[in-house]
Structure 1
Amino acid sequence: MTQLLSTRRWMDLLTPEQQKTYSSAIRKGYFATYDGYRWRHEFYGAFIWKHPGRVKIIDKFKQVIGRAPLWEDITDDNLRDVKEELDASYAPNSVRTICAEINAIIRENAESKDIPSMSYARVLRAKKVVVQSVFLTDEEIRKIHEYRPKTVRRRHAKRIFMLECLCGARFSDCLRLSPVNLSSDGRTLTYVSKKTNHEVTVPVHPWLREYLVPSSPIEPQSLAVPSYNDAIRFFCQSCGIDQQVKVYQAGREQTGPKWKFVSTHTGRRSFATNLSLKNVPLEQIALMMGHFTGNAPDVSMTQRYIVTRLQLSPAAFQAFMIPGSERAAAENEAYNNPTNDFDDFDDFDIPEDEQLVIPERPQTEAS
């Protein structure tokens, strides 16, 4: 009976949209005592309310503390234990992001709450490590476009992933896109980014329209990120996106087929990288990805999404040349490889099977 009353309480207090947003936390029972603002003012409520997709982090606290964490549980010892759990479960950069989110919640409430930890910023400090990512080429994206998944969930995952690749929107924004976002002439797609509240406009790719409509009436409205990653890796593997690549992730060098390293952000990275390879100005790519600082394009943020290595200029190589080395190298080449002194050498007809063929250097993954 008490559980029924609790269920009615949060159902009465949450809008249908909020019930959808916090469905994971509701399923795990964190909303059983929800009563509005007071619930949101406890640590676990404040964290879940701001980061509904991070319920597993509260699970980590619960595992360490034995209950959903209150402000009185935010001690140095508890934070150290939670960080140790995070280090064991997530990649270093993910731990850094999560620690920054926990840190921000504590900092926002430090003046009004009685928080035992005085060193939370130091305890939650985590280093950023270098990460190499992959992107999909236009040809690989075409293979996914032509692929036909057999299950409703995989069709949903393909639809969202293709939206990422074709318009560069974030996963959370792709879930909300529909034909309503198209301009009256059908040339552009416009939406307001859920994360930044900036309006973003992107030219419409010829394949985009079909992915703005659910593939089935029973297509799920959302998909957990781990399930989404599993689905897109499955159809990338099925499409033969299996070129061997070497990347640096989770603090170590890893080698494997390309599909293995595809994840939720790969579509967005592919969008930015392919535009860059087509010489679209970085400021324009930033506008299409919703990267802003104030009202100006934030190209530094956009650059992080472009999976190509910076090229050394000819001047850089010239700076390392020893004076006179070019002439010495030329003389040495002439001595070791003398040529025939025929003015009409090009007139000699060498049979095709005797011609020297220099094999092309195999292309390597830019990421």
Structure 2
Amino acid sequence: MSSLVLQSTHGVIRFSLKDSIKSLELTPKKESLIMLHFSSKGRRFKRSIGYKCNLKNWDVTKQRVKTGKGMVTNAYEVNSFIGNIQSYAEGELTKMKKENGSIDVKMLSSLIEKRIKGGGEIDRDEERNKDLIYYSKKVLEQKKSQIKIGTIRSCNQTIKMLEKYEKSKGYLLQFDDIDLSFYRSFVQFLEKEGYSLNSVGKHIKNLKVFLNDALTNGITDNAIFKSRSFKVLKETTTDIFLTKSEVGILAKEDFSLRSKIELARDIFLIGCLTGQRVSDYNGLTDENIEIIDGHKFIKVRQKKTDTIIHIPITSKIKEIMNRYNGKFPPKLSESKLRENIKLACKKIGFKDLITVSYTKGGQLVKKVVPKYDLVKTHTARRTFCTNHYIDQKPIQNIMLFSGHKTEREFLKYVRIEKREEALLVIESGFFD
């Protein structure tokens, strides 16, 4: 291969006429644009260098304008320009490989285009901000002290999937690439990766956060993500609650010989009796106790909403605290809490078979599982809301303790069958 072609682990740069050799052979005097071509591991771009040449004066092998007898007057000028662009591109490639360990193809394309047009130095940070993943990582790093660890973890998972998508497509995602075609393609990609519909929706939701930040900060004017068609996919999951009877059975079961299960059970019961999220009911301390007019309350500043909630310390909560010398159960890691509360419910015998259905990999999945296998840390909050709703307590009063802002959000937590709900209405005297 000619030494004029750069070929290495970085990529290949070559120069050719825009029109095909076959077509130019029919019209050898036709002027055709001289093009720079770059390719690296399936990623490529091409740029016109601004000069033209006909096939008669173009050396296909050397990829330069012919010199010598009968040459065009600006042959040396054009060849010098080609050599300058090639040297510049090679230098940028080496720099990228050394600094980043990889080639930013779109950045290289922008740099070469700027060089060809004779512009000044390109603002690399401004140019890189057009790169969706680069900008998303930058935003996440800047905001990590302001957002929760769970949110950071979720957003990082989305960024990893975008990187995997990029790799599968062979090009870098920029904000201008985001359209409804990309949306559909990315959703299909996530489905092929085996994600459930709600997980796909989570990634789209995180992506929209990055896109909105870029739009707000003037990085892009692309607002297609605001379209109704660019929607966050979701479906209602099969979530369960424990009945008042089951909560009572769970509370009375003797787990004293299995301390980890007993601790998980007690922490979970605190959740069932307070209606809080696991981030708020797991790890309560004496600092959460507040006395108001002689009554003891648990004061919680909900981590998700920053809402302050006061929940009375009832006799049932006191019974649990008595097992810990009048204090709240010590905090347990969420993974251990999830694992051991399932074991507790399995041992007790919460084995009613429940049909669950969900969409995974773009396909509807249905299966039957025992109730204990569906118990999660969030089941405690659903249990509190649903049981008080069944007892026909005023929704606004339940929300006072759960912290829900609207009835619509609250009712998402009520997990009872329609027939049971109809029975409740009848018992309330609706038809009397």
TM-score (norm 2): 0.51
CA contact (8 A) 1:156 1:215 kept: no
CA distance 1:64–1:279, shift in 2 (3 Å): closer
More displaced stretch, 122-131 vs 265-274: 122-131
More displaced stretch, 58-67 vs 199-208: 58-67
| Aligned partner of 1:196 among 305, 310, 317 | 305
The answer to whether residue 319 in structure 2 is matched with residue 223 in structure 1 is: no
Structure 2: 5+ residue stretches without partners = 1-134, 166-171, 427-432
Give matches, 1:133-152, under 5 Å. Answer: 133-145=239-251, 146-148=253-255
CA contact (8 A) 1:47 1:105 kept: no
CA distance in structure 2 between the aligned counterparts of 1:46 and 1:159, rounded to whole angstroms: 39
- The structural deviation recorded for 1:248 is 3.6
CA distance in structure 1 between the aligned counterparts of 2:199 and 2:235, rounded to whole angstroms: 10
- The structural deviation recorded for 1:302 is 1.4
CA distance in structure 2 between the aligned counterparts of 1:48 and 1:165, rounded to whole angstroms: 31
Name the residue aligned to 1:311: 422
- CA deviation map 1:250-288 (0-9, x unaligned): 454432211111112211111111111222111111111
SS in 1 for 2:276: coil
Name the residue aligned to 1:93: 198
CA distance in structure 2 between the aligned counterparts of 1:220 and 1:204, rounded to whole angstroms: 17
CA distance 1:181–1:141, shift in 2 (3 Å): same
Name the residue aligned to 2:219: 114
The answer to whether residue 127 in structure 2 is matched with residue 127 in structure 1 is: no
- The structural deviation recorded for 1:86 is 4.8
More displaced stretch, 43-52 vs 129-138: 43-52
| Aligned partner of 1:169 among 273, 276, 300 | 276
Name the residue aligned to 1:181: 288
SS in 1 for 2:216: coil
CA distance in structure 1 between the aligned counterparts of 2:144 and 2:281, rounded to whole angstroms: 22
The answer to whether residue 208 in structure 2 is matched with residue 103 in structure 1 is: yes
CA contact (8 A) 1:131 1:248 kept: yes
CA distance in structure 2 between the aligned counterparts of 1:215 and 1:89, rounded to whole angstroms: 44
CA distance 1:91–1:41, shift in 2 (3 Å): closer
| Aligned partner of 1:53 among 117, 142, 150 | 150
Name the residue aligned to 2:163: 65
The answer to whether residue 401 in structure 2 is matched with residue 288 in structure 1 is: yes
| Aligned partner of 1:160 among 241, 256, 267 | 267
- The structural deviation recorded for 1:79 is 7.1
CA distance in structure 1 between the aligned counterparts of 2:155 and 2:275, rounded to whole angstroms: 28
CA contact (8 A) 1:134 1:262 kept: yes
SS in 2 for 1:53: helix
Larger radius of gyration: 2
CA contact (8 A) 2:158 2:203 kept: no
CA contact (8 A) 2:385 2:414 kept: yes
Greater per-residue strand proportion: 2
Percent of residue pairs identical: 20
CA distance 1:92–1:239, shift in 2 (3 Å): same
CA distance 1:290–1:207, shift in 2 (3 Å): same
More displaced stretch, 52-61 vs 196-205: 52-61
CA distance in structure 2 between the aligned counterparts of 1:109 and 1:84, rounded to whole angstroms: 24
| 1:45 maps to amino acid | E
Query: Larger relative CO (CA 8 A, sep 6+): 1 or 2?
Result: 1
| 1:168 maps to amino acid | G
CA distance 1:187–1:305, shift in 2 (3 Å): same
- The structural deviation recorded for 1:166 is 0.8
CA contact (8 A) 2:355 2:366 kept: yes
CA distance in structure 2 between the aligned counterparts of 1:143 and 1:246, rounded to whole angstroms: 23
Taking only aligned residues, the RMSD between alpha carbons, in angstroms, comes to 4.0
CA contact (8 A) 1:177 1:212 kept: no
Structure 1: 5+ residue stretches without partners = 1-38, 293-297, 315-367
| 2:412 maps to amino acid | R
CA contact (8 A) 1:189 1:203 kept: yes
Name the residue aligned to 1:352: none
CA distance 1:151–1:302, shift in 2 (3 Å): same
CA contact (8 A) 2:356 2:366 kept: yes
SS in 2 for 1:42: helix
Name the residue aligned to 1:279: 392
CA distance in structure 2 between the aligned counterparts of 1:214 and 1:157, rounded to whole angstroms: 13
- CA deviation map 1:271-312 (0-9, x unaligned): 1111112221111111110012xxxxx222211111122428
Aligned length: 266
CA distance in structure 2 between the aligned counterparts of 1:150 and 1:86, rounded to whole angstroms: 45
CA distance 1:304–1:56, shift in 2 (3 Å): closer
- The structural deviation recorded for 1:239 is 1.3
CA contact (8 A) 1:138 1:274 kept: yes
The answer to whether residue 350 in structure 2 is matched with residue 261 in structure 1 is: no
